[in-house]
A and B are shown apart, each in its own frame.
Chain A
Amino acid sequence: MTQRSFPIERGHVLAFARALGAEPDPGGAVPPTFPIAYAHFDPDWPLRMRPGRPWQGSGAGPGGGGAGGGGLHAEQEFTYFRPLRVGETLVPSKRDGRTWSKEGRSGVLDFTERHTDFHDADGELVARATAVTVRTRPAGGAA
């Protein structure tokens, strides 16, 4: 398996900042939620079109089926051990976090935590992104 990488590119940070109605930080720091944009470089990211593969969006018809199915995004956290800078390349690695359940109005809510750790060129942990997703199952049903 080839090593994953997340190059922090000036144009990408510019486009991301503008999507938030802002301009990039003149000092080269990245917006607090920027690590989510690793999705572009993530070989496993399901929510983009790929040549030759089915896609759920509309064309001649309204679309349907295909990608998604990862549960609902309930919470997100970013932790910085130092500021990230335009021009550096990070090495992301994913790992599972905690799982827990609670009773909801329409059944049992199953929460799943997934971490992405970002290391710099010196192997130092510089940032972590944590996503919590939730799926609902009918009370008494199997997970």
Chain B
Amino acid sequence: MSTPATVIVGDERTEVVVEDLRRTQIVMYAGAGGDFNPLHTDEPFATRVAGHPTVMSHGMLVMGLAGQVLADWFGTANVRRYRARFQSPTWPGDTLTVTARVDELRTEGGEHLAELTLTTTNQDGRAVLGGSATVVTAGEAT
């Protein structure tokens, strides 16, 4: 079990979770996640049938990548809730930067919890995924 982090309201962490997203990573995600919609992995289908510029990343790949910030900061086992809103598509070649920020600290059932907001933007500054999370912390910094 990972040790919970000590945080205060306003603490934030920013990470580049993927740089120049490769089609191979999208294929790896399709295989592991089980979403084989050809929109995500099949260039002739994506371009000629769906009319997209190329294959589109799974939104769930972006949510998974953004969730790595929570795992890195608080430890995977301390994530209690993680929600995301899909705002814009992510494409091969994109670089995604995630910022997680502590909005609120509270205690529930003797456990210290933090509420966080997540924002994910691409290399053009466009928001691709917004989110929120509840994590277990070590309590307030003194």
Residues of A within 8 A of B (CB): 12, 15-16, 18-22, 25, 27, 29-33, 36-40, 42, 45, 47-49, 56-58, 62-64, 67-68, 72-80, 83
Contacts and interface: CB of A to CB of B under 8 A. Distances in A.
Given A74-B85, A83-B78, 20 more contacts: A15-B31, A15-B32, A20-B64, A25-B71, A27-B1, A27-B2, A32-B67, A37-B32, A45-B34, A47-B34, A48-B34, A63-B44, A68-B37, A73-B60, A75-B83, A75-B85, A76-B59, A78-B82, A80-B79, A80-B81
B17 A21 contact: yes
Interface of B: 1-2, 17-18, 25, 28-29, 31-39, 42-45, 48-49, 59-61, 63-65, 67-68, 70-71, 75-86, 133
A57 B86 contact: no
Given A19-B32, A33-B64, A58 B81 contact: no
Given A63-B45, A76-B63, A31 B77 contact: no
B31 A19 contact: yes
A57 B76 contact: no
A39 B34 CA distance: 6
A57 B68 contact: no
Contacts of B63: 33, 76
Contacts of B77: 25, 27, 29, 83
Contacts of A58: 38, 42-45, 48-49
Contacts of B42: 57-58, 63
